[in-house]
Amino acid sequence: MTQLDKPKIFGVGFSKTGTTSLEAAFENLGRNVCKGDWRLKHNDYNLALYVDRNFEELRRMTHYWDAFADGPWGGGGLYKQLYDWYPDAFFVQTVRDPEMWYNSFERMITSFAEDEDLATALESYHQRGAYGSALFFRNVFQIKKLEGARDKIIDYYISANAEVEAFFESKAARFIRMDITNGEGWHELCSFLGVEKPNIPFPVKNVAPNSNASLLGVLAYAIQGGNFQRICRGKLKKVLNSCAAKL
């Protein structure tokens, strides 16, 4: 059986929920991964296809990889079509605390855009080259700018995640919910996929743990990714300070 003959794996979580780490994990498991990096030619194309609801062409694009993460595979409503096309596929929903997710999402846009003004940051994000993801976010969240949209975006994030879980409730053997930012990793993913756990740390890419995550969760996240010292200097310090303040 070739890689492309194996059941596909779709990451159906929103951007900034550990999707880059999930992509790296898929690669470590020997999968050919469709990545959501804005610099990749296929990414803008796939995102635009989703916004245009060109599902026929999107299905054609799924023929070229066997594992997928980030938009448009996650963060929208595509999971229903994906399940119709590939009922034997595996679906991985990455999640994190909604408030912390939004903070990371907003920071991603303003940092890339080099624009801290929420009234203009999304337009600047587009102007600096993130064409597909800017279009995708505007379409999915039904917004034109970040200013005044925090609650609307968080509400959508919560309701959309709940809808994904409800859809797969009767298909539990094909679905798993993971919080990578709170320490979940190889054990959960490999048990779900029925594959052997690699003898390497679970990859931690471009994601910081929740500042309100449990201390044990932060420690596990740091150790899994081999980034213990870096995280100790940042988020773990915040957690310890928070704990100390409550003593």
Tell me the β-bridge partners of 93.
177
pLDDT tens-digit map of 184-221: 999 999 999 999 999 999 999 874 444 444 444 445 44
Element (H, E) at 228: helix 228-233
Query: For residues 5 and 240, which has the higher predicted lDDT (pLDDT)?
Result: 5
What integer pLDDT is reported at residue 205 of this predicted model? 81
Q: CA angle 27-65-180, nearest 5°?
A: 40
Confidence category of residue 236, pLDDT binned at 50, 70, 90: low
Tell me the β-bridge partners of 34.
68
Average pLDDT over residues 102-123: 97
What integer pLDDT is reported at residue 4 of this predicted model? 52
What integer pLDDT is reported at residue 206 of this predicted model? 73
Confidence category of residue 38, pLDDT binned at 50, 70, 90: confident
Average pLDDT taken over every residue of the chain:
87
pLDDT tens-digit map of 142-156: 999 999 999 999 999
Average pLDDT over residues 7-18: 97
User: How far apart are alpha carbons 126 and 124 in whole angstroms?
Assistant: 5
